Amino acid sequence: MMEQIQESIQRRAAEIEGIIKSYLPAEAGPQRTVLEAMNYSVLAGGKRLRPMLMQETYRMFGGRGREVEPLMAAIEMIHTYSLVHDDLPAMDNDEYRRGRKTTHVVYGEAMGILAGDGLLNLAWETAMRSFSVSGQDAGFVQSAEDPTRDEAVRMRRVAGAVEVLARKAGVYGMIGGQTADIEAEGEGQVSGEQLLFIHEHKTAALIQAAMMAGAILAGADKEQVLQMERCAYDIGIAFQIQDDILDVTGTVEELGKPIGSDKKNQKQTYVTIMGMEASVREVERLSGEAVKILASMEGDSGFLRELTAFLIHRKK
Amino acid sequence: MMEQIQESIQRRAAEIEGIIKSYLPAEAGPQRTVLEAMNYSVLAGGKRLRPMLMQETYRMFGGRGREVEPLMAAIEMIHTYSLVHDDLPAMDNDEYRRGRKTTHVVYGEAMGILAGDGLLNLAWETAMRSFSVSGQDAGFVQSAEDPTRDEAVRMRRVAGAVEVLARKAGVYGMIGGQTADIEAEGEGQVSGEQLLFIHEHKTAALIQAAMMAGAILAGADKEQVLQMERCAYDIGIAFQIQDDILDVTGTVEELGKPIGSDKKNQKQTYVTIMGMEASVREVERLSGEAVKILASMEGDSGFLRELTAFLIHRKK
């Protein structure tokens, strides 16, 4: 069963790869270096988990259009810029990610900063394309004709989805978590409460954005969107605790990165604070809750439930 | 006459200051440090030129609503983040700006990066508020009622304005110019063509965004928006050449920064490449063209024309 779902995930990831690529810039012009650095960063691989969750949530709520695609590309650009800036010397100072040299190591620190800025801005440029049905430029040239009812309803949904994405990516979401993380490292001792704040914001917030934006775009109602927020919270925190567990129990081959790096960096994790047994139990509890929420939805949640189980039981 | 327009500019700048402040974050929560660093950066002063141009262009085309206000705050946040990241050690490594220590000097390099990221993201969060008439949260909770024609038309205009802002701020606009600037510094010799690309993108693009977004929000037609793009180009380039001229002719008292810093840094400027006489003539030509475009508009362009003349003839 795990092989089957893995194959299904890979097929979807390949489709998403094509969507993301179609929104990446051509490497031309006097600003070519930053465009190359941006593409290098985005095309480093990765699970494409956030666009996948967005698309599947959109489908679960009956979404059938293509207006979700620019937002799928946008959320992956946001995720990528956050990694590029996180890796900078002044931040985590990481030289490798996913087995490749990090962006600033290849292109220099100034280009690392600019590539991150470029991706974050391109994310919003790209997101704005959702306002046009075709996924092409919204264009500042306003039609002389009145908007149809369909166009008006779609614009309202897109505005809502982009707003949620912006909020969850910002200082009350992901950037807030990064700030708390950087400060916690400086302080040494981290409380369970601080760690939860960091995980909730640095990891879970963008996963919430993915599922909430997908739901909003498909026309889900307020209650359904809030349930997706809760479900994504469970998935995000379970995902992060599983990361902490794998850092202790995984093998180098499975993870593709040094084992015990958290311990070496004296990083406080869910495992060091709560213990291994409690961590495993918490992952089970959270993923169970997420699957239960998904199962209670009207639409077909089969793939999302399998994906959740897969993420939690992954070995890397 | 210069005193009168200066007073008028200051009055408008004070009003804009209030609008910007109303969109800045409260300094609370575990991520407080990044919020403080963001506010420190935005409240360092400055001419508030971009929001002023946006608001006045909006008014010139008959705009009377408040949906322009979130976008005014957003463009100033974008301008500010670009300065914060430009000042970083890996970029221009500046310790002072407008007589105050730069953000990374006060809050550390990691917070300098995060504060810039936070401001860029907050800009888009704030911009999304233009979708609601009141300038408050658009909110993901979609009304069950159909959008009215007025709401639909406004959403379309806001989407167009935000799209232009995103494009002009990004890799094909401001960030593109910063990239070319960083690379030119590494190369030593800069051609007139390269310098124009840098000025067009690093400086003029965001001024174009200000005037184009103001026009689009007010319902200007395509031809009018393109004329504002041209007019803002003239203003932006003239503004930048005047900067280069003042670096040679100004006094420390007037500028509040060391004179001849461009020469000291061996920075190529319009003056070093084209000569002082040609530079002065070009500023005159460009500002004359900008004023002519403004005068040809139907609405009241009085203040915008005075502002243009003031910017060009300023001594600091």
Q: What percent of chain A has pLDDT over 70?
A: 91
In 3-state terms chain A splits into helix, strand, coil percentages (rounded to 5) of 70, 0, 30
CA nearest neighbour of A58 among A301, A309, A312: A301
User: Can you tell me the mean pLDDT for B251-267?
Assistant: 59
pLDDT greater than 70 at residue B225: yes
Condensed to tens digits (0 to 9), the pLDDT of residues A167-202 reads 999 999 999 999 999 998 877 788 889 999 999 999
Joined tokens for residue A9: 């995930």
- Which range of residues forms the domain containing residue B224? 2-136+149-313
In a domain, B143, yes or no: no
pLDDT greater than 70 at residue B230: yes
Q: Among B28-42, B54-68, B172-186, B251-265, name the one with the lowest average pLDDT.
A: B251-265
pLDDT greater than 50 at residue B137: no
Q: What percent of chain B has pLDDT over 90?
A: 76
Quote the pLDDT of residue B134: 45
Between the alpha carbon of residue B130 and those of residues A149, B25, B151, B218, B229, the distances in Å are 20, 17, 11, 13, 21
Split at pLDDT 50, 70, 90, the class of A144 is low
In a domain, B142, yes or no: no
Quote the pLDDT of residue A148: 85
Amino acid making up residue A130: S
Report the gap between the CA of B179 and the closest CA in chain A (Å). 6
From chain A, the residues in CB contact with B117 under 8 A are 81, 85, 116-117, 120, 175
B223's CB contacts (< 8 A; 6+ apart) are: none
Angstrom distance (rounded) from CA A164 to CA A160: 6
In a domain, A141, yes or no: no
Angstrom distance (rounded) from CA A172 to CA A180: 11
In a domain, A145, yes or no: no
pLDDT greater than 60 at residue A114: yes
Give the burial string for A160-192 (b: 16+ CB within 10 Å, else e): bbbbbbbbbbbbbbbbbbbbbbbbbbeeeebee
Angstrom distance (rounded) from CA B122 to CA A295: 35
Strand partners, A100: A97
User: Can you tell me the mean pLDDT for A212-217?
Assistant: 96
- The ipTM (two decimal places) reads 0.93
> For A166, which residue in chain B has the nearest alpha carbon?
B125
In a domain, B144, yes or no: no
Q: What is the mean pLDDT of chain A?
A: 90
pLDDT greater than 60 at residue B14: yes
Quote the pLDDT of residue A316: 67
Which member of B140, B151, B164 has the closest CB to residue A163?
B140
- Identify the residue among A111, A133, A153, A179 best suited for mutation to test binding to B, counting B beta carbons within 10 A and taking the highest: A179
Quote the pLDDT of residue A85: 98
pLDDT greater than 50 at residue B56: yes
User: Can you tell me the mean pLDDT for B155-172?
Assistant: 95
User: Can you tell me the mean pLDDT for A30-46?
Assistant: 96
DSSP-derived letter for residue B86 is H
User: Could you tell me whether strands B96-97 and A100-101 are parallel, antiparallel, or unpaired per DSSP bridges?
Assistant: unpaired
Report the gap between the CA of A6 and the closest CA in chain B (Å). 33
Report the gap between the CA of A242 and the closest CA in chain B (Å). 24
Split at pLDDT 50, 70, 90, the class of A256 is low
Count of domains forming chain A = 1
Rounded to 5 degrees, φ, ψ at B100 are: -115, 155
User: Which one is predicted more confidently, B90 or B262?
Assistant: B90
pLDDT greater than 50 at residue B97: yes
User: Can you tell me the mean pLDDT for B94-113?
Assistant: 96
pLDDT greater than 50 at residue A138: no
pLDDT greater than 80 at residue B257: no
B207's CB contacts (< 8 A; 6+ apart) are: B49, B50, B53, B232, B233, B235, B236, B239
Split at pLDDT 50, 70, 90, the class of B2 is confident
pLDDT greater than 70 at residue A301: yes
Give the burial string for B133-170 (b: 16+ CB within 10 Å, else e): eebeebbbebeeeebeeebbbbbbbbbbbbbbbbbbbb
Q: Which of B:59-118 have CB within 8 Å of A? A: 81, 85, 88, 90-91, 108-114, 116-118
Quote the pLDDT of residue A136: 41
B167's CB contacts (< 8 A; 6+ apart) are: A125, B173, B209
pLDDT greater than 50 at residue A90: yes
Joined tokens for residue B159: 């989407």
What's the CATH code of the domain at B184?
1.10.600.10
Split at pLDDT 50, 70, 90, the class of B267 is confident
